[in-house]
Amino acid sequence: MPGRLVPFVTNEVYHVFNRGIDRRPTFIGKREYARAKLTLQYYRHISVPLRLSYFLDLKVDFRDGMLKKLEAIPYAVEILAYCLMPNHFHFLLRQVTDNGVSKFLSNFQNSYTRYFNTKHKRVGPLFLDQCKAVRIETLEQLLHVSRYIHLNPATAYLVKDVEDVLRYPWSSLPEYVSGQEEICETDSILGNFKKRTSYEAFVRDQVDYQRELEAIHHLLIEENP
């Protein structure tokens, strides 16, 4: 992935977006979505003892020992929110260490591309060379962008109604609703609401409106060329 002209700043938050080359599908089946989630979780660390594919080939007892080592390694990024869509992804990331965002994105895309290419017997890049990224500058922007990311399945009509959005398994919204954290650091967003259900209502209230994308368009990444 080519270097970013304006470096990512440590302790700042960014909305990062990328899509497949030629808008091709990047996440096709449940196994691919699940592998992408695992890749997010694994490569958020500043370093890893071995490639994810090698880690998954280990016997269970060796894998457990490796996980303990991994837990002691600091994060490169905190993942505040994410959504995996059929041909693109959205991440809301806080850079924790210098060059953390760039390193995380490179590791995620390279690892997942190797998996995808092996599975589909193809070669070459899967994602566009350069991710798009917008720095989050205000609390309002942080909250609205988190909602925008979580409502992507509704915006694209991948789901029928708000209940399906809340259950969409390839975004971080179920973590926010259930309280069972897997990947995300949710306090930065949920801490601005009286209770968990208040954030859920914040998301619910905009399902239909977001499909027009007018209210928050100026805060978001322009996805079309």
Q: Which CATH superfamily is domain 13-219 in?
A: Transposase IS200-like (3.30.70.1290)
Per-residue pLDDT band at 2 (split at 50, 70, 90): low
Pick the closest to residue 83 from 4, 155, 173, 166 (CA basis).
Answer: 173
For the chain, which residues make up each domain, given as ranges?
13-219
The Cα 161–Cα 176 span in angstroms is: 18
Q: What pLDDT, in 10s, does the model give residues 108-142?
A: 999 999 999 999 999 999 999 999 999 999 999 99
- Give 204's contacts (C-beta < 8 A, 6+ positions apart): 162
Per-residue pLDDT band at 211 (split at 50, 70, 90): low
**What's the pTM value of the predicted model, to 2 decimals?**
0.89
The CB-side HSE value for 61 (13 A sphere, CA atoms) comes to: 0
C-alpha distances in Å from residue 124, one per residue of 76, 99, 166: 26, 25, 35
Torsion over CA: 147, 149, 150, 154 (sign): positive
